[in-house]
Amino acid sequence: MPKIFVKVPREVLKHQTLSPYEKLVIMLIIDYQGFGRVKRAFPSQKTIASDLNLSVETVKRTIKSLKTKGILIVGKTRIKNRSNYIFSNRI
């Protein structure tokens, strides 16, 4: 199976006010967005926690912080326990 890489904006990696957890969550959401034209991702918080080996509570706090900073926009989906994650232009 070929290796798949995630392209992360340099602004995310060098951002001075983002915590390491915030950067990890951003990178994973970018990965879930894939290569489509519509930049949306739908992983559950449980999936994010599992993929990053973090607790669900840590993921909840991290997503809340990213929303408060205006970096992440979170919407509801029709799928149970899923949210729609979209990045703002604040990074």
The CA distance from 84 to 5, in Å, is 22
The answer to whether residue 77 scores a pLDDT higher than 70 is no
Looking at residue 34, the DSSP 8-state letter turns out to be T
The CA distance from 45 to 85, in Å, is 11
Q: What's the confidence (pLDDT) of residue 87?
A: 75
Q: What's the confidence (pLDDT) of residue 51?
A: 96
The CA distance from 46 to 49, in Å, is 5
pLDDT above 70: percentage of residues in the chain: 85
Average pLDDT over the chain, rounded to an integer: 86
Q: What's the confidence (pLDDT) of residue 90?
A: 63
pLDDT band of 81, cuts 50, 70, 90: low
